A and B are shown apart, each in its own frame.
Chain A
Amino acid sequence: AQKVTQAQTEISVVEKEDVTLDCVYETRDTTYYLFWYKQPPSGELVFLIRRNSFDEQNEISGRYSWNFQKSTSSFNFTITASQVVDSAVYFCALSGTKAAGNKLTFGGGTRVLVKP
């Protein structure tokens, strides 16, 4: 069975602070993909990044960066110099080759509140 844990339910920061969201996963698949999604207050889920299990290079996209560590089964997400527009719920998700219906396994989400 697959499992994704986002232990932080809510994080509150002041604008310009950095914030790191933790994501820990469990899977028996040797090949899998990890994803991060953003859900702003308007409700739609926006895809942010996909990472496969064979690529442990960290990735940076503007103020966003991702740290994938296979040894600790973690795929953490950092927002640098946070802005009010970063306020949202962020979901980490896992996809393995054996999931029926190609389902994604989502974590419970972390709500980020960035205060001005």
Chain B
Amino acid sequence: SQTIHQWPATLVQPVGSPLSLECTVEGTSNPNLYWYRQAAGRGLQLLFYSVGIGQISSEVPQNLSASRPQDRQFILSSKKLLLSDSGFYLCAWRGSWDQPQHFGDGTRLSIL
């Protein structure tokens, strides 16, 4: 069966520090991968998606970037975090358009 791992679960970072969040999927090949952010009490905002290795699409202009160095690995990065980067970050994968998305457990990022 397929599983998705996302880490760390929580992270506290100072303003201006770098960021790297990692997500890996097991049990499937060539998944579509997604990074979402959720501000407290708000809905899901799609940040990036990837349909293949090295293919990244950005949904909103921002301080973050994403990379997909391997088929089942998706990384969210920042060179310098801003206070506004605080939030709950969720990674997700999907096999095809008619299948549900499956989410990781999320990372709670607090910027001080």
Residues on the B chain within 8 Å of A106, using CB: 43-44
**Proximity bits, B70-112, A CB within 8 Å = 1, else 0:** 0000000000000000001010101011111111111010000
Q: Answer whether A103 and B43 are a contact pair too, CB < 8 Å, given A47-B102, A95-B98, A97-B97.
A: no
- How far apart sit A47 and B95, CA to CA, in the bound complex (Å)? 14
Where the two chains meet, the residues of A that have a C-beta atom closer than 8 Å to any C-beta of B are 33, 35, 43-45, 47, 50, 52, 91, 93, 95-97, 99-104, 106-109, 111
> Is B57 a contact partner of A99 (Cβ separation < 8 A)?
no
Size band of the B side of the interface? 20 to 34
Dominant SS at the A interface? mixed
- How far apart sit A115 and B103, CA to CA, in the bound complex (Å)? 28
Closest residue of chain A to B102 (Cβ to Cβ) is: A47
Closest residue of chain A to B41 (Cβ to Cβ) is: A111
Closest residue of chain A to B50 (Cβ to Cβ) is: A101
Residues on the A chain within 8 Å of B104, using CB: 44
Residues on the B chain within 8 Å of A35, using CB: 100-101
> Is B51 a contact partner of A101 (Cβ separation < 8 A)?
yes
> Is B96 a contact partner of A102 (Cβ separation < 8 A)?
yes
> Is B49 a contact partner of A103 (Cβ separation < 8 A)?
yes
> Is A101 a contact partner of B49 (Cβ separation < 8 A)?
yes
CB distance from B89 to the nearest CB of A (A): 10
Residues on the A chain within 8 Å of B32, using CB: 101-102
Within 8 A of A (CB), among B37-67: 41-44, 46, 49-51, 57
CB distance from B18 to the nearest CB of A (A): 24
Closest residue of chain B to A44 (Cβ to Cβ) is: B105
Residues on the B chain within 8 Å of A99, using CB: 97
> Is B97 a contact partner of A95 (Cβ separation < 8 A)?
yes
- How far apart sit A80 and B50, CA to CA, in the bound complex (Å)? 38
User: Which among A44, A45, A47, A96 is the interface contact of B97 at CB below 8 angstroms?
Assistant: A96
Q: Answer whether A91 and B57 are a contact pair too, CB < 8 Å, given A43-B105, A44-B106.
A: no
